[in-house]
């Protein structure tokens, strides 16, 4: 009897790291549940992956800030595939403005998308995993979560620190169960979202970054900086150095 392929659900899968990880998982033979706001991009990706790898790819429109929709879409995917083996909480935004400069709405949107919407995704995923008594929750944080940062990064870094603590709390809750929880801290990976930014320290291209991310996810670590070199060292330095030094180089 042929063993059923495992299924990975990825939010924010229409572009960037979400789409790149979908390609990597499809190449490894996983079936995919992909969701994002831009369904036309999802449809293009669905056709590409089905044609190239022969895996099952199902798509759904999802705005993660519509919290009831998160639960409905995750449940629909679980019913369609029969189970979900891995959920990657990837959807997020990189916007942000200096605190106290009249841009509360932008910072609020960043905090809500990167944390409150991530909470909804984690709740929906873990409900399914509890029913299955198995599963792997993957939460995408950021190296910026390692320290409070100035300028436009302040709210973004705080939201990514919050989601990292959320994942750790879920992991603590589920330590004695078959459910695994991983937190990833990506370094600078060049995608269309930061295409206009200046060259970033230790940056790597999108395809390579997604390869490293999926390799890390497959190991199911509790936590991982991606890529490990030099970001594991950079993360330790960020936590140890005086704040004025961190602020200067962020």
Q: Inform me whether the pLDDT recorded for 192 exceeds 90.
A: no
Residue 93: predicted pLDDT: 93
Domains in the chain, please, with CATH? 7-249 (3.40.50.720)
- The angle that helices 154-173 and 117-132 make with each other, rounded to 10 degrees, is 20
Q: What is the pLDDT of residues 138-151, one digit of tens each?
A: 999 999 999 999 99
Length of the chain: 250
Residues annotated as catalytic are: 156
3 state DSSP class of 72: helix
Q: What is the value of pTM for the model shown?
A: 0.95
State the average pLDDT over residues 43-60: 97
> pLDDT-based confidence at 64, cuts 50/70/90?
very high
Residue 193's closest CA among 8, 20, 26? Answer: 20
Residue 127 CA, chain-centre distance (Å), reads 18
Distance CA 119, CA 235 (A): 24
Residues 6+ apart with CB under 8 A from 156: 94, 95, 96, 110, 114, 142, 144, 149
**Taking the CB of residue 130, how many other CB atoms lie within 10 A of it?**
13
Cis? peptide before 230, omega within 30° of 0:
yes
Burial class (CB in 10 A: 0-12, 13-18, 19+), 57: buried
Q: Inform me whether the pLDDT recorded for 2 exceeds 60.
A: no
Strands (E), 23-75: 31-36, 57-61
């Amino acid at each position: 009897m042929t063993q059923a392929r495992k299924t990975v659900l990825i939010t924010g899968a229409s572009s960037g790291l979400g789409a790149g990880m979908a390609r990597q998982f499809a190449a490894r033979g996983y079936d995919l549940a992909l969701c994002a706001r831009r369904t036309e991009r999802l449809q293009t990706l669905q056709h590409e992956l089905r044609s190239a790898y022969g895996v099952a790819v199902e798509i759904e429109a999802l705005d993660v800030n519509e919290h009831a929709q998160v639960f409905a879409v995750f449940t629909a995917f679980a019913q369609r595939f029969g189970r979900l083996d891995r959920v990657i909480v990837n959807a997020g935004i990189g916007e942000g403005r200096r605190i106290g400069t009249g841009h509360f709405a932008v910072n609020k949107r960043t905090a809500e998308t990167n944390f409150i919407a991530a909470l909804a995704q984690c709740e929906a995923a873990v409900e399914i995993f509890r029913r299955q008594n198995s599963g792997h929750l993957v939460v995408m944080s950021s190296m910026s979560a390692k320290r409070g940062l100035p300028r436009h990064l302040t709210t973004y870094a705080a939201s990514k620190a919050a989601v990292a603590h959320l994942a750790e709390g879920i992991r603590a809750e589920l330590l004695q169960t078959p459910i695994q929880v991983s937190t990833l801290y990506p370094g600078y990976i060049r995608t269309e979202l930061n295409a206009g930014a200046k060259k970033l320290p230790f940056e790597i291209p999108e395809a390579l970054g997604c390869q490293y991310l999926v390799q890390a996810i497959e190991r199911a670590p509790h936590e991982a900086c991606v890529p490990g070199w030099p970001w594991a060292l950079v993360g330790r330095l960020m936590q140890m150095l005086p704040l004025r030094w961190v602020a200067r180089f962020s």
